[in-house]
Amino acid sequence: MDTAPSHGRAGTGTGTQDAGETRAAQAGGPIRILLVDNDPIVLDSVGRFLRAEGHHVTTASTASEAIRCTAAGAFDLAIADVGMPDRDGFIFLAHVRESHPHTAVIMVTAYGTMESAVEALKQGAFEYLTKPIIEDDVRLAVRRAVQHQLLAEENRRLRRALGDRQLLPTIISQDYRMAKVFELTEAVASARTTVLLCGESGTGKSLLARAIHARSPRRDGPFVEVSCGAVPDTLLESELFGHVRGAFTGATADQQGRFAAAEGGTIFLDEVAAASPQLQIKLLRVLQERRFEPVGSTRTVEADVRVLLASHRDLAEEVKAGRFREDLYYRINVVSIELPPLRHRAGDIPLLAKHFLE
């Protein structure tokens, strides 16, 4: 690869930095990088380029040597070749993930096969590069890794600050994307703001809604969850707002709705896109005026309820297609939190596997 002149810092010491804190997370300045490759040309050219970028670089030509380096001090980032003469690069990756979980690892392969890239991500690599290594690719990957470290450390700081009142004890993640989700959750929890949770089915929207409620001033009130897609459209209005005796066939007694049951607490409307156009009008009113009427009644009920909503559909596209009211969409989209699917945070898979095994 083309290399820049070696005018940057040439520090190669390992130091005694605490493995729980990374230099990147502490200051955002030059970071400590461990470069592992059995090709001396790569070690020289990539090492000189990274030092010219201002980083502190330690080099190792075998996986065993690299493991000894990590035992002597912490690194913000490791860039390691998959093919090693003594041990497979994935063995080094496993060691780092186990012993230094706050160190990001970028794996390098000479083959560039999709199989090796996927395997690296499955085993917890932050990213992968292919040979021949391009300077711009290295620069971008390092920049992304630093940002990952900063977000991850901020997430850890928030969790330490919360102490026993842990923010999301049921959501297992160390991914930088989820760190942003945690920050937004903490920011909106104390407000009464309506929050829209977006993401595919199974990404944890219900867990996040419960976490927002648990961190809110309404934590001692009820948390009521309604899956709008699981209730027949003809019954959903009654389910939400209740009904009075004789309101429809089979209504033999007054029935309290979920909004009334959530009084003083939080109601979570999952899959809100399933609501009919008529029901969407009533939802808009209860969000705007905090009041509603049970089905079949003229009595207006005040609603002291915080409303959280979720959808796996793209509501903006639903609005364009005429299936969802535009005014309701803008009313509920005050704060939006997007939950990434697990395939976009493959580094969490070992954590989840360990959690479920335990």
User: What's the mean per-residue pLDDT of the chain?
Assistant: 83
Question: For 202-222, what is each residue's pLDDT tens digit?
Answer: 898 999 999 999 989 999 999
Looking at residue 14, its pLDDT comes to: 37
| Other beta carbons less than 10 A from residue 64's beta carbon | 15
Q: Out of 121, 153, 185, pick the residue that ends a domain.
A: 153
Number of other residues whose CB lies within 10 A of the CB of residue 290: 14
Residue 302: strand, helix, or coil:
strand
> What is this structure's pTM?
0.55
What is the per-residue pLDDT across 249-264, written as a single tens digit (0 to 9) for each? Answer: 777 888 889 999 999 9
Same domain as 63, residue 130 = yes
Summarize pLDDT for 71-93 with one digit per residue, the tens: 887 899 999 988 887 777 888 99
- In this structure, the answer to whether residues 293 and 180 fall within a common structural domain is yes
d(CA 159, CA 74): 22
Domain C-terminal end among 153, 181, 200: 153
Its domain, for residue 61, covers 23-153
Work out the pLDDT band at 170, boundaries 50, 70, 90: low
Give the pLDDT of residue 348. Answer: 84
Task: Compute, in degrees rounded to 10, the torsion defined by CA atoms 160, 165, 169, 172.
Answer: -20
Residue 47 CA to chain centroid, in angstroms? 32
With respect to residue 11, please indicate whether it lies within any of the assigned structural domains.
no
- Which helix (H) or strand (E) is 68 found in, with range? helix 63-72
Q: How far apart are CA 306 and CA 73, in angstroms?
A: 48
Question: How far is Cα 226 from Cα 291, in angstroms, rounded to an integer?
Answer: 18
DSSP state of 18: -
CA distance 73 to 71: 6
Question: Which of the 8 DSSP states describes residue 13?
Answer: -
| Residue 340 maps to a domain | yes
Domain count, the chain: 2
Angle between helices 89-99 and 63-72 (to 10 degrees): 20
Same domain, 183 and 306: yes
Angle at 192 between CA 324 and CA 291, to 5 degrees: 60
